[in-house]
A and B are shown apart, each in its own frame.
Chain A
């Protein structure tokens, strides 16, 4: 498909790949920290109002309105307040935050500074997944530059406001991306999610009010003040402002991270010359996961949908973390679901019975079906197991402490809903119909 998708002016990704884009010097030349200057002339409450007006929504998974989240932090609490940045980036299919951290960390740091000032936060922790060594080094170097330039430390760009910022690396646990598990991990513990309420905005890190925001969310904040909240809001829909990053992977010619408008559709992302450039020769789309591996899968006839929170919700799925995974007609759906199910079983923290017992049970049933040992009744059993972790639809009725339970059940429900005949064929034929090529993979390893 030639390029018909409306071009946008990139905000977050504009400098990626340019020489030295990660340095303070480069960021300042692009107008960096001017938004902070503007914000520092405003009252904290007015900053929060401005973010509310911008319709900025969280980019970590749930799409929660950012300004509203900030407004939940009690103003009169005698306790210190904290900002925890979520750079755990572990939802399969998601690989956007790493580019912000490595190619333009100052954009996120400016967002951190604005948020901290608005919230009265004097200590911020940037929690990065343990594997992000290079990204942690770049981010730390940027923080060091910011201290030297008087942006962090005793004064905030010359204003009498102390702000300290530390990088903390995780050590390999998907669950630490869940905000309360992240807080436990920041407290030096294993990542066991907490029962909510209370929400972190009231009782968070060390028992104190804490905002947890995703890396991309904070990197989007400077643009709100540079452009003005109304202009930022106008870039998007009436419920979802700005632009967003989406991560395209799987069976496409040009995988990668693309900054898109809230009106860009999944099919534009996959086929347009600006983005994915279609599938390899001879392949057709079979299925697309639109928001990280926990988001319910869509069929080939459902791709004319904007990659935006509300539009995807109408389709009973979610925009989630922006991870778009394309599977073509040579891909086995049973094999794919088995791999996804194994991930959630592996990463369950084990606190809740439905999740601890249900996730490996799903995995065993799927393995059995994929290996040709499935029996009549196994599909219904699989569906029952998934329902006992979290029923569907709608999304969000989980029986567990955290949403990992939902994340593990939603793929099962949606794969069975759309591709049940493939599961049945495995059982009927006592084998995988795709033989020894269940991935239909291409590239060097095909």
Chain B
């Protein structure tokens, strides 16, 4: 038999989370909770495994196709298991004016990955404006935001990732 998707602990969190999400919408509009529900699943599993997508769809009275359509539209959802740390580097205009392309090149060399590549520990991606243009350059690591980055600051942040 296939391994269950959730541990009992995770199952409890998932059920409670879905109940909370559904309560925010009109009773006949459960499927409106698709984005928060996918986020919940990703918080529990680190990505969106196919059986998880089916479960989310079922919990919201939606089709699995709908769950897949939404999951593939938004860049923050991971349809494949990413590295332990997902690093999103903004290279949009204001950040590039403060050296973002060079910062990305520095990261590529340091991690031995090109933007768009992943290994067990890291997924490195180029991303669009993170609404932090006044404190450029910036990046996010698993949704934690880091700004006004210098080489020294970046080295210190990376050193803490085990």
Contacts and interface: CB of A to CB of B under 8 A. Distances in A.
B99 A443 contact: yes
Chain A interface size, under 10 / 10 to 19 / 20 to 34 / 35 or more:
35 or more
Interface in B2-59: 24, 26, 29, 31-36, 38-39
Contacts of A340: 93
Contact of A248 (B73, B99, B134): B134
Contacts of B36: 168-169
A168 B133 contact: no
A18 interface: no
A174 interface: yes
Nearest to A336: B93
A256 interface: yes
B76 A250 contact: no
Given A191-B73, A347-B128, A171 B145 contact: no
B134 A257 contact: yes
A441 B102 contact: yes
B134 A256 contact: yes
Interface string A405-446: 000000000000000000000000000000000010111111
B144 interface: yes
A92 B94 contact: yes
Nearest to A171: B74
Contacts of A255: 94, 133-136
A94 interface: yes
Contacts of B70: 188-190
B107 to A, nearest CB: 12
A343 B96 CA distance: 13
Contacts of A33: none
B133 A93 contact: yes
B143 A131 contact: yes
Chain B interface size, under 10 / 10 to 19 / 20 to 34 / 35 or more:
35 or more
The residue among A125, A130, A442, A446 with the most chain B CB atoms within 10 A of its own CB is: A130
Contact of A95 (B74, B131, B143, B149): B131
A146 interface: no
A363 interface: no
B73 to A, nearest CB: 4
Nearest to A247: B134
B131 A89 contact: yes
B130 interface: yes
A289 B144 CA distance: 29
Contacts of A251: 97
Interface in A304-333: 323, 325, 327, 331
A66 to B, nearest CB: 22
Interface string B82-93: 000000000111
Interface of B: 24, 26, 29, 31-36, 38-39, 60, 62, 66, 69-70, 73-77, 91-94, 96-103, 106, 128-137, 140, 143-145, 149-151
17 contacts: A92-B93, A93-B93, A94-B133, A95-B135, A131-B145, A133-B143, A171-B35, A171-B39, A171-B76, A173-B74, A188-B33, A188-B35, A189-B69, A336-B96, A343-B129, A347-B128, A443-B150
